[in-house]
Structure 1
Amino acid sequence: MELWAIWLVIGIILFIIEMLTLTFYLLWVGIGAIAAALIALVAPDLFFVQALVGCIVALGLTFFTKPLTRFIRKSKGYTDVIDDLVGKQGIVVETIEVGRNGVVKVGNETWSATSYQALQKDDIVIVIQRGTTVLEVQKWEGVS
Structure 2
Amino acid sequence: MDWLRDNAWEAWLGLAIVLGVAEMFSLDLILIMLAVGALAGMVTAAFDAHLVVQVLVAAGASIGALALVRPDLVKKFHSGPDLKLGHGKLVGQQGLVTEEVTALTHGRIKLGGEIWSAAPYDDTIAIAPGETVEVLQIKGATAYVHPIPRLDP
Superposition TM-score, scaled by structure 2 size: 0.45
Please identify the structure whose Cα radius of gyration is greater.
2
